[in-house]
């Protein structure tokens, strides 16, 4: 009963943190004419992925002490990536995403598929070495550089007189990130306790329970952004988060301690991640419909099928 109460409390904290975070982010984007996509791909993506990064650091330090938690790191990274494109877009798609400019798919596609390909190649021998981890981190740095060199178009100017003061916006942004971090940690820990009680495997817990739990900040931010008619923030957040999850999370983990990669990752997790990535990019950037109920239902069905199958293997 206590774990259930903590889980509900964590979910409530995610919603509250997302509301505070999105207010600060939108205020800064308007005041400095920053594009929503850039704010989403950089500030919100890193902020909402702090749970995965902290999980990776904790698991890597435990691995250095002799306890192999590679499955937690790999599973949470890939499970979160699949959750963001399958579960989050699947749910928020019922609200509706307008189609995005095709030119913006190029950078996202290059880095998302490059990350998947690199993880697959590095995992062929069952081990991601420290050198390969550093390479993943270097590619993520290249992604950050591309955001600066290849910026998106700015938003329409807003009325400065009606804007939130900069100090207040920064306070909201920082407070929202902290609340999201604490709430996500509480949610993941509580969910993991339930999973352990049910006797699930280590990889299943990380890929499904932790992956789903760590995707909740992105879900909260996306719903609120869409309701506020700021779809660019939502899409940018999801794309930036996925690049971070597939490059920086395993990169840091392997750089600290080599990661042992189970064989199921190669024939299950990475192919499913590639599938939902291709579908999400196609729906968002190629299809004139964007993401509507039909597209959302397909992505959600794929995620549910993956989660059910992943728990059993």
Secondary structure of residue 260 in the 3-state scheme: strand
Any idea which architecture 2-312 has in CATH?
Answer: Up-down Bundle (1.20)
Beta bridge partners of 260: 127
Q: How confident is the model over 12-58, as pLDDT tens digits? A: 887 787 778 777 877 777 777 767 666 767 777 777 777 778 778 87
The pLDDT value recorded for residue 268 is 96
Instruction: Please give the Cα distance from 237 to 219 (Å, whole number).
Output: 10
Of 236, 223, 252, 190, nearest to 52 by C-alpha is: 252
CB 270 within 8 A of CB 68: no
The pTM for the full model equals 0.84
* Dihedrals phi, psi of 30, to nearest 5 degrees: -70, -45
CB 189 within 8 A of CB 59: no
Ranked by mean pLDDT, the top range of 33-47, 176-190, 246-260 is 246-260
Helices (H), the chain: 2-31, 36-39, 45-48, 50-64, 70-82, 89-92, 104-123, 130-149, 166-198, 202-204, 211-227, 231-256, 263-264, 270-281, 293-312
Q: How many alpha carbons lie under 13 Å from residue 121 in its C-beta half-sphere? A: 10
Domain ranges of the chain: 2-312
Question: At 278, is the pLDDT very low, low, confident or very high (cuts 50, 70, 90)?
Answer: very high
Q: How confident is the model over 67-115, as pLDDT tens digits? A: 777 888 899 899 999 999 999 999 999 998 988 888 778 888 999 999 9
The pLDDT value recorded for residue 246 is 95
User: Which token pair is 169?
Assistant: 């916006």
């Amino acid at each position: 009963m206590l774990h259930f109460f903590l889980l509900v409390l964590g979910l409530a904290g995610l919603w509250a943190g997302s509301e505070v975070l999105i207010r600060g982010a939108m205020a800064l984007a308007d005041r400095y004419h920053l594009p929503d996509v850039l704010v989403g791909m950089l500030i919100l993506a890193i902020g909402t992925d702090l749970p995965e990064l902290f999980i990776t650091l904790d698991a890597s330090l435990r691995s250095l002490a002799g306890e192999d938690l590679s499955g937690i790191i790999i599973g949470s990274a890939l499970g979160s990536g699949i959750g963001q494109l399958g579960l989050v877009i699947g749910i928020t798609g019922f609200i509706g995403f307008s189609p995005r400019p095709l030119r913006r798919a190029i950078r996202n596609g290059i880095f998302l598929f490059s990350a998947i390909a690199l993880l697959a190649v590095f995992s062929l021998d069952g081990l991601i070495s420290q050198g390969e981890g550093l390479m993943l981190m270097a590619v993520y740095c290249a992604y950050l550089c591309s955001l600066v060199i290849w910026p998106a178009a700015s938003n329409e100017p807003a009325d400065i007189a009606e804007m939130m003061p900069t100090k207040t916006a920064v306070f909201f942004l920082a407070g929202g990130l902290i609340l999201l971090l604490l709430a996500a940690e509480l949610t993941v820990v509580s969910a993991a306790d339930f999973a352990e009680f049910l006797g699930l495997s280590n990889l299943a817990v990380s890929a499904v329970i932790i992956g789903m739990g760590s995707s909740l900040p992105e879900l909260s931010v996306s719903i609120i952004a869409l309701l506020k008619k700021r779809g660019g923030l939502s899409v940018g957040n999801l794309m930036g988060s996925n690049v971070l999850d597939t490059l920086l999370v395993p990169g840091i983990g392997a750089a600290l301690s080599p990661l042992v990669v189970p064989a199921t990752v190669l024939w299950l997790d990475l192919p499913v991640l590639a599938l939902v990535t291709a579908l999400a990019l196609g729906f968002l950037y190629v299809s004139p419909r964007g993401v509507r109920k039909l597209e959302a239902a397909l992505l959600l069905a794929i995620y549910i099928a993956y989660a059910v199958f992943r728990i059993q293997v």
